[in-house]
């Protein structure tokens, strides 16, 4: 599965519910909040799909040295372009595919997490379309703890809508809204907030 997709970074820590990857500052297109990503599973050809729910830059005492100084241009460029600034990207696991001829995407937690230092890739447009052909992953997101759930759902739907031809986007979002109505029927205030976000996409 590790085709020519854009690499986001390498897995630092992993569990079945999600994983954290490390990447450098100058990654050309650091995937943003709500992006779909994919890591290789342990079985050949298998994959774990996830949604980015947090991007954080760790404190860097070395950079602090230069905040009040006037460092030369070479240092500024070194800090910006070369330093292994520890950017951590947190991913919520939302699906898997088995590989070995079975390319069906299942919206469930993976049986095993990805291996440390494995690459994490940004999903291609085709993968996003295939993954969001159904909305079973909503339940995994809604049940996630310590994740900005509503914002994440809205952001992922925005990404999924953009991955579709313009003429199909509205239909796609209406279908997603229907699933949310079913899942959040008991929480009308929250549902209204989410649907309002979808209307504004």
Partner 1 sequence: MTLELSRLTGEVQTMGEALAARERRRADLVALARRWLAEYADQGERLRHPARTASAAIPTDEPLDAVHPLPAIPERFTVIAADGSQIQPDRHGVALYHLINVGSMVYRHGSGEAPEAYSQPAMGYTEADLYEDGLLVAGNLLDVRRDLAEITRLADLSAVEAPGPTGSVRPGRTVALVDGTLILWVLENRSEEWKREKVMAYLDQLRRIRKSGAAVAAFTSRPRRGEVTKLLYLASVNGDENRASQETNPLEHLPDRAIFHDLPAGARSALFISPSSINHDYYVPAGHGVYFFYLNLAEKEHDPVIARIEAPAWVVAAPELLASIHGAVVAQARITGDYPYALTRADELAYVSGREREALTEMVTTALLRAGVRSAPSPKAYYKSLTRRGRRKYPQ
Give contact residues for partner 1 (rule: CB under 8 A). Answer: 12, 62, 65, 71-75, 77-78, 80-82, 84, 115-117
d(CA 137, CA 59) in angstroms, rounded, equals: 33
Q: Of 127, 95, 91, give the one whose Cα is nearest residue 109.
A: 95
How many contiguous H segments (helices) and E segments (strands) does the chain have? 7, 7
- Closest CB to partner 1 among 80 and 178? 80
**Least distance to partner 1 from the beta carbon of 120, Å?**
14
- Give me the helix-helix angle, 149-162 and 188-199, nearest 10°: 30
Output 60 or 143, the one with its CB closest to partner 1.
60
Contact between residue 92 and residue 140 where contact means Cβ atoms under 8 Å apart: yes
User: What length is written for the chain?
Assistant: 201
Nearer to partner 1, 72 or 188 (CB): 72
Residue closer to partner 1 by CB (options 77, 178) is 77
Please tell me whether residue 123 adopts helix, strand or coil conformation. coil
CB of 5 to partner 1, least distance (A): 22
Q: Least Å distance between CB 115 and partner 1?
A: 5
């Amino acid at each position: 599965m590790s085709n020519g997709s854009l690499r986001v970074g390498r897995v630092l820590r992993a569990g079945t519910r999600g994983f954290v990857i490390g990447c450098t500052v100058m990654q050309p297109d650091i995937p943003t909040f709500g992006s779909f990503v994919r890591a290789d599973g342990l079985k050949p050809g298998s994959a774990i799909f996830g949604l980015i729910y947090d991007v954080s830059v760790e404190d860097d005492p070395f950079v602090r040295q230069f905040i009040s100084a006037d460092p030369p241009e070479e240092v500024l460029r070194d800090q910006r372009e070369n330093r292994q600034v520890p950017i951590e990207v947190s991913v919520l696991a939302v699906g898997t595919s088995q590989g070995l001829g079975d390319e069906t995407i299942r919206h469930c937690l993976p049986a095993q997490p990805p291996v440390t230092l494995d690459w994490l890739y940004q999903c291609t447009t085709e993968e996003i379309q295939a993954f969001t052909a159904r909305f079973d992953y909503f339940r995994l997101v809604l049940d996630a703890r310590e994740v900005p759930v509503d914002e994440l759902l809205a952001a992922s739907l925005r990404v999924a809508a953009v991955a579709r031809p313009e003429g199909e986007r509205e239909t796609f979002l209406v279908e997603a809204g229907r699933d949310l109505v079913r899942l959040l029927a008991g929480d009308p205030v929250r549902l209204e907030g989410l649907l309002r976000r979808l209307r504004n996409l």
